Amino acid sequence: ALQAGIVGLPNVGKSTLFNAVSKSAKAQASNYRFCTIDPNVGLVDVPDERLAKLAELVQPNRVVPTQIEIVDIAGLVRGASKGEGLGNKFLGNIREVDAIIHVIRCFEDENILRDEGAINPVSDKEIIDTELQLKDLESVEKKMSRTEKMAKTDPKAKVELEILQRCKAHLEQGKSIRELGITKEEMPAIADLFLLTIKPVLYVANVDEASMHTGNKFSEMLKESVKNEQAEVIIMNNSIEAQIAEMENPDDQQLFMEEYGMKEPALNRLIRSTYKLLTLQTYFTAGVQEVRAWTIHEGWKAPQAASVIHTDFEKGFIKAEVIAYNDFVQYGSEAACREVGKLRIEGKEYLVKDGDIMHFRFNV
Ligand code: GDP
């Protein structure tokens, strides 16, 4: 499964968030399963109301959501890129994830320690960004020194060097590579560096109870400062999420959420947004045995999508029977869709769409 890592300064609410995800899944009221791989890594179901709707129509023996991995990357501090604290280890952990959930403290509480003085979401974000940028700068410079010699004789290396120089200048201005607009064609020049600041990011503004629905001046500051990143800012209260997650009884949970004017845990929103951030899409299989959600990337064709179920499905792919989600719901069953001509036969070139209900035909 693809991984998203939770990062942020100490005492901003990272482990509270991670615990909320894991506990929420343990409670019987849970909307999702969570399985702990190690103390800081968990697999969590992606909540998807379409899956529930399909299950209602098909009445299968089993319903299986798709999952992503959440990693709690604690311990990033100012100076991490120079090895302060266990800085290098934590930066290494970030290198392995596919996307970043950056938690920012937007609540005041004098009992919760803070090394950085008055609450300031913008400078908190910049501290973390700077560490990641410095680390990237190190990687880029290392590769530049290797490439410089070759660039004198090899035109391909020359092009690479120019891309690296652009990255360097950008990082030196205190900007992240994700904002540089590296094209698909340029990517190979830096792909081997696994840069930290190229990873997609979303921000969690951890606000106080009173601002849960509205946000506050801190979350506004944060939003303003990330305007150019096209990154999502999710406003939530991690303590409340942890409290909801700890309740064993679904009725208690419901009551608690009603009291706070919540329709669902903010965690659901976070997990769905993280899924989108990973540019993931879902298709479904809907049989009487099992109704199941499968994860693919945007732009995948039918045979590649089939390979998620089994590698043999890709090799022996013949065709796919496809029903759009809305059609399935409108007509209520595969048979009904077939009758009204809403079941399409698609070939190898078919681009799978989010929500498609797929049935693959293949040779073994
Ligand atoms: P981490 O160091 O980022 O993992 O931070 P923790 O999740 O351990 O949280 C640090 C402290 O802040 C704990 O005592 C939490 O109970 C508290 N905390 C977390 N979220 C909130 C919040 O939304 N409001 C308040 N007032 N305290 C919070």
Whether residues 217 and 303 share a domain: the answer is no
pLDDT for 29: 40
Q: Are residues 211 and 172 in the same domain?
A: no
Residues 184 and 251 both lie in one domain: no
Is 243 touching ligand 1 by the criterion CB < 6 Å? Answer: no
By alpha-carbon position, which residue is closest to atom 6 of ligand 1?
A: 13
Tokens describing residue 109: 């509480």
286 inside domain: no
**Residue corresponding to tokens 């929500």:** 355
Give the model's pLDDT for residue 34.
Answer: 59
Establish whether 12 is an annotated binding residue: yes
Alpha carbon distance 132, 271 (integer Å) = 24
**Residue carrying the six token digits 């681009």:** 351
d(CA 99, CA 41): 14
Residues 209 and 97 in one domain: yes
**Domain termination residue (choose one: 191, 214, 239):** 191
DSSP 218-253: HHHHHHHHTGGGT--EEEE-HHHHHHHHH---HHHH
In this structure, are 29 and 94 located in the same domain? Answer: yes
Mean confidence (pLDDT) of the chain: 90
Ligand 1 pocket residue status of 11, Cβ below 6 Å: yes
Q: How far is the CA of 12 from the centre of ligand 1 (A)?
A: 6
pLDDT score of 36 more than 70: no
Write out the residue range of the structural domain in which residue 307 sits: 299-362
Distance CA 2, CA 282 (A): 13
For residue 336, what is the domain's CATH number? 3.10.20.30
Q: Are residues 240 and 104 in the same domain?
A: yes
63 falls within a domain: yes
Strand pairing partners for 43?
35, 69
Same-domain pairing of 105 and 163: no
Contact 297, 21 (CB under 8 A): no
pLDDT tens digits for range 77-136: 888 878 766 667 788 889 999 999 999 999 998 888 887 788 999 999 999 999 999 999
Q: Report yes or no on 55 lying in a domain.
A: yes
Report CA(73)–ligand 1 centroid distance (Å).
15
Q: Are residues 237 and 186 in the same domain?
A: no
Candidates 224, 278, 230, 267; CA nearest to 13 is: 267
Going by CA atoms, what residue is nearest to atom 10 of ligand 1?
11
Q: What CATH number corresponds to the domain at position 182?
A: 1.10.150.300
Ligand 1 centre to CA of 3 (Å) is: 23
- At 79, which CATH number? 3.40.50.300
Q: Of the candidates 274, 308, 239, which has an alpha carbon nearest to the alpha carbon of residue 71?
A: 274
On the question of pLDDT at 361 being above 70, the answer is yes
Ligand 1: distance of its center to the CA of 69 in Å? Answer: 22
Same domain? For 106 and 16 the reply is: yes
Q: How far apart are CA 170 and CA 181, in angstroms?
A: 11
352 assigned to a ligand binding site: no
Helix (H) or strand (E) holding 187: none
pLDDT value at residue 80 = 81
The CA 95 to ligand 1 mean position distance, Å, reads 25
- Confirm if 100 and 120 have CB atoms less than 8 A apart: no
Q: What is the pLDDT of residues 226-256, one digit of tens each?
A: 988 878 999 999 999 999 988 888 889 899 9
Label residue 30 by pLDDT band (50, 70, 90). very low
Separation of CA 352 and ligand 1 centre (Å):
41
Q: Is-contact 161 147, C-beta < 8 A?
A: yes
Q: How is the beta sheet containing 233-236 ordered, strand by strand?
A: 34-38, 41-45, 67-72, 3-7, 99-106, 201-207, 233-236
What ipTM describes this predicted complex?
0.93
* Six token digits for residue 180: 């540089």
Residue 26 lies in a domain: yes
pLDDT at 174 over 70: yes
15 lines ligand 1 (CB under 6 A): yes
* Rounded-to-integer distance, Cα 23 and Cα 2, Å: 21
Between the CA of 39 and the centroid of ligand 1 the distance, in Å, is 18
Q: Is 36 annotated as a binding residue?
A: no
Q: For residue 26, what pLDDT is reported? A: 54
If asked whether residues 171 and 303 sit together in one domain, one would say no
Q: Is 209 inside any structural domain?
A: yes
What is the residue with the minimal CA distance to atom 22 of ligand 1? 239
Q: Is the CB of 68 under 6 A from ligand 1?
A: no
Asked if residue 55 has pLDDT above 50, the reply is yes
| Range 164-183 average pLDDT | 95
In a domain, 248, yes or no: yes
| Ligand 1 lined by 8 (C-beta under 6 Å) | yes
The reported pTM is 0.86
Number of domains in the chain: 3
Q: What's the pLDDT score for residue 102?
A: 97
Within-domain flag for 284: no
Q: How confident is the model at residue 28 (pLDDT cuts 50, 70, 90)?
A: very low
73 lines ligand 1 (CB under 6 A): no
Domain boundary among the residues 220, 246, 277 is at 277
Question: d(Cα 328, Cα 337) in Å, to the nearest integer?
Answer: 7
For residue 53, is pLDDT > 90?
Answer: yes
Whether residue 314 sits in one domain with residue 271: no
Burial class (CB in 10 A: 0-12, 13-18, 19+), 257: middle
Query: Considering Cα of 193, then 43, then 311, then 355, what sign does the dihedral take?
Result: negative
Helix, strand, or coil (residue 290): strand
Task: Confirm whether 283 is domain-assigned.
Answer: no
Are 163 and 89 part of one and the same domain?
no
Q: Ligand 1 test: best mutation among 72, 128, 203, 239, most atoms within 8 Å of CB?
A: 239
Q: What is the pLDDT of residues 280-338, one digit of tens each?
A: 899 999 999 999 999 998 899 999 999 999 988 899 999 999 999 999 999 999 999 99
Residue 220 CA neighbour count, 13 Å, CB half: 6
